[in-house]
Structure formats: C-alpha cells, structure tokens
Amino acid sequence: MSSWRSWHRPLMLFAALMVATGLLSAGGLLLDDRTLVGSPIWFKPFKFSVSLLAYALSLAWMLSLVTRARRAAWWAGTVIALTGTVEMVLIIGQVLRGRRSHFNHETAFDSALYDVMGLSVAVLWTAALVIAVLLFRSRLADRASAWALRLGSVIALAGAGVGFLMAQPTAAQRASMGDGPLDVVGAHSVGVPDGGPSMPLTGWSTTGGDLRIPHFVGMHALQVLPLLLLVLAALAPHLPRLGTETVRVRLVLTASGGYAGLLALVTWQALRGQPLLRPDAVTLALGAALVAGTLLAGLAALRAGAGSPPDPAAVQRREAASA
C-alpha cells in the first residue's frame, strides 16, 4: 500500500477541513440547542463532515493507485475537493442562519443557494465517474484489489445517485403545486413528512421510507469492499485457499454482487415508503434470498480454490507471520 504522503494532496487537505468542520459541528451539538426539521440543527453538518472525511480519504488513496491518465485523475480529485468544500460551506452557512440547506425555496436567496448545492453535487458526481473509469483502465498488480476498487467506485456512484431522487417533489408536494410556489421541494422521507420519529444517531425515519439509507449504503462501498481485502489478508495465514488470487477475486466479485443487491433492496424498500426496521414479508424474503445466495457463492469460491497453488507473495506473508 502506498504511503499516505503520496495520496492526492487536495483531497487530503479537504479531509483535514472535514475534521475541522466535524469538531465545529460537534461543538454546535453540545452548545446550540436549536432544532430544525425535528433534528438538532448541527446534526446535518456533523454527519456530512464524517461521511465526506471517509469519502475523501478513500478517494485520495485510490487515486494514488491510478496508472493511466494520472493528470486527469488529479484534476477529478481536485474538483471533488473543491465542490465538497462548497457543499459544506453552504450547509454550515445555512445552519448559522437557522435555515434549511436542502430542498429550501422559502426565499430567492435560499433557492439560489440550494441551486448552487445541486450544481456542485452534479459536478462532484461527474468527477467521481471519471475516477471510476480511470480505475477500470488502470492495471493494478493485485486483481482482487483492482476489482474491489472498481466495483466499490461504481456502487458508490449508484448510492450517490440516490441523492438526485431526494430532490424530486414528493406526491404531496406535486399535489400542492397548483396552489402556488412551494417553500420546500424534495424530501429525505417517502410516504411521511421529513422531521418525524427517527432512529437515534442516523436520524432515519422510523415511520416511512428514507432515501438516506440507500445513499449511505452505496456511498460507503468505497470503504467496505477494500476492508474486505484486509479481512482476507488477515485470514490468509489460517485459510491457505485465501492465498490464491483466483479465490480472492471470486470472493470480491461475490461480495460486490451481494453489496449491490443490498443497495437495490434498501432503495426499493425506501421507495415503497417502508421503514428500514419494519420490513414486510416480501422484503424479508428477498433479503434472506440475497444473504443465502451470497453465502453460497462465497462457499463455492472457496471450494473452487481447493488444490490450487497459493500465490508466492501469499506464501511469503504466511512464512513471515509464523517466523
């Protein structure tokens, strides 16, 4: 793994900024008792800071591994750092004003700020798409790592794309459009108004669907799939089959397929207006089928590696671990 000192500098600076905004937001949560849409007013910038910190660090590392069109990759990462900064400045600025940052059309100024946020997110998504394409074009020495990064970036793009669904008017908002301009257009929740009963820590709705759930699941594929590689590396000294590149690739593909299936399932559940913790029989059945299919595919990948010689590098790692 490359040293963090060689990671994408603008994204690392952006990550440092997210640490600062996270600390600022944590202080706001402790000292500012204002609420907005049923939630502490500093909760949104705190969540965004933590999420964007993980996102920036993941991308900064991934960009250090790109081998093709490195200048284009550098610019794509820089665009993400800049647009992410714009997003956070506007969110915190609206908190200081005591106003909603998302879906807000109460005044012309609020609407203009929200339009800028929407444009910055669209540019950020496009830059992330460029990075995903460059990861598919790059040749990484370890095929399992290559597929974890490539598929993680694709799933993250799909998860980020869920954000565009939130910006669409709800059924209730569409029904009210004939009465004049709306102060709020778009919502996190489906089937219920934003700001109702919610889960602790996440703030996700407990009475209706919530599109922030698939957004969260998809975006964090960038961390989950590479983490799988670390788990496989830790288990390799005890399970020799994991030292075979073919097995690791198949396990990464299986995990990626299962993760994509999970993203599709929670998106479908949210769009049906169904709370995450109150799934119906159909959702439970599909979830069970997804888990069973993923586990069976994983076991099949392990059995396929029986008798295959492990990679020389894996053998060296096991010998070093036992020395």
For residue range 149-169, list pLDDT tens digits in order: 999 999 999 999 999 999 999
d(CA 127, CA 63): 12
State the pTM of this model.
0.90
Q: Are residues 221 and 283 in the same domain?
A: yes
pLDDT of residue 40: 95
d(CA 36, CA 98): 8
> For residue 321, what pLDDT band results from cuts at 50, 70 and 90?
very low
CA angle 291, 295, 300 (to 5 degrees): 150
Q: In the listed set 122, 139, 156, which residue is the last one of a domain according to the structure?
A: 139
> For residue 308, what pLDDT band results from cuts at 50, 70 and 90?
low
Select the highest-mean-pLDDT range: 1-5, 180-184, 208-212, 246-250: 208-212
User: Would the pLDDT of 311 be above 80?
Assistant: no
Q: In the listed set 72, 107, 139, which residue is the last one of a domain according to the structure?
A: 139
Across-strand partners of 189?
210
pLDDT of residue 309: 55
> For residue 310, what pLDDT band results from cuts at 50, 70 and 90?
low
Amino acid, single-letter form, for residue 322: S
d(CA 177, CA 179): 5
Lowest pLDDT segment from 14-28, 74-88, 239-253: 239-253
Q: Are residues 181 and 113 in the same domain?
A: no
Phi, psi of 242 (to 5 degrees): -70, -10
Q: Are residues 204 and 275 in the same domain?
A: yes
Residues 6 or more apart whose CB falls under 8 angstroms from that of 205 comprise: 188, 189, 192, 194, 196, 197, 198, 199, 275
User: What does the block give as tokens for 81?
Assistant: 């750092």
User: What does the block give as tokens for 319?
Assistant: 């010998």
d(CA 271, CA 189): 9
Q: Are residues 25 and 161 in the same domain?
A: no
Q: Are residues 20 and 116 in the same domain?
A: yes
Indicate the average pLDDT of the chain.
91
Query: How many domains would you assign to the chain?
Result: 2
How much is the average pLDDT of 61-81?
94
For residue range 234-289, list pLDDT tens digits in order: 888 888 878 788 899 999 999 999 999 999 999 999 999 999 999 999 999 999 99
> For residue 24, what pLDDT band results from cuts at 50, 70 and 90?
very high
Select the highest-mean-pLDDT range: 4-8, 36-40, 214-218, 311-315: 214-218
d(CA 323, CA 317): 10
Q: In the listed set 94, 123, 139, which residue is the last one of a domain according to the structure?
A: 139
CA distances, 111 to each of 122, 170, 183 (Å): 17, 17, 9
d(CA 216, CA 204): 11
Q: Are residues 73 and 187 in the same domain?
A: no
For residue range 90-123, list pLDDT tens digits in order: 999 999 999 999 999 999 999 999 999 999 999 9
Lowest pLDDT segment from 8-22, 269-283, 299-313: 299-313
Q: Are residues 98 and 179 in the same domain?
A: no
Size of the chain in residues = 323
d(CA 207, CA 38): 14
Write the Ramachandran bin of 195: left for phi over 0, alpha for psi from -120 to 50, otherwise beta.
left
Beta carbons of 257 and 297 less than 8 angstroms apart: yes
Beta carbons of 97 and 110 less than 8 angstroms apart: no
d(CA 318, CA 314): 6
Across-strand partners of 35?
40
Under DSSP, is residue 214 helix (H, G, I), strand (E, B) or coil? helix
Q: Domain range holding 39?
A: 1-139
pLDDT of residue 322: 42
Residue carrying the six token digits 């005591």: 98
Burial environment of residue 323 by CB neighbours within 10 A (0 to 12, 13 to 18, 19 or more): exposed
pLDDT of residue 300: 92
How much is the average pLDDT of 3-19?
92
pLDDT of residue 307: 54
d(CA 114, CA 103): 7
Lowest pLDDT segment from 5-14, 76-85, 190-199, 227-236: 227-236
Q: Are residues 132 and 278 in the same domain?
A: no
pLDDT of residue 318: 44
Under DSSP, is residue 32 helix (H, G, I), strand (E, B) or coil? coil
Lowest pLDDT segment from 72-81, 179-188, 301-310, 314-323: 314-323
Alpha carbons within 13 A on the beta-carbon side of 218? 22
Under DSSP, is residue 7 helix (H, G, I), strand (E, B) or coil? coil
Of residues 242 and 69, more confidence is placed in 69
Q: Are residues 127 and 204 in the same domain?
A: no
Q: Are residues 86 and 116 in the same domain?
A: yes
Q: Are residues 199 and 299 in the same domain?
A: yes
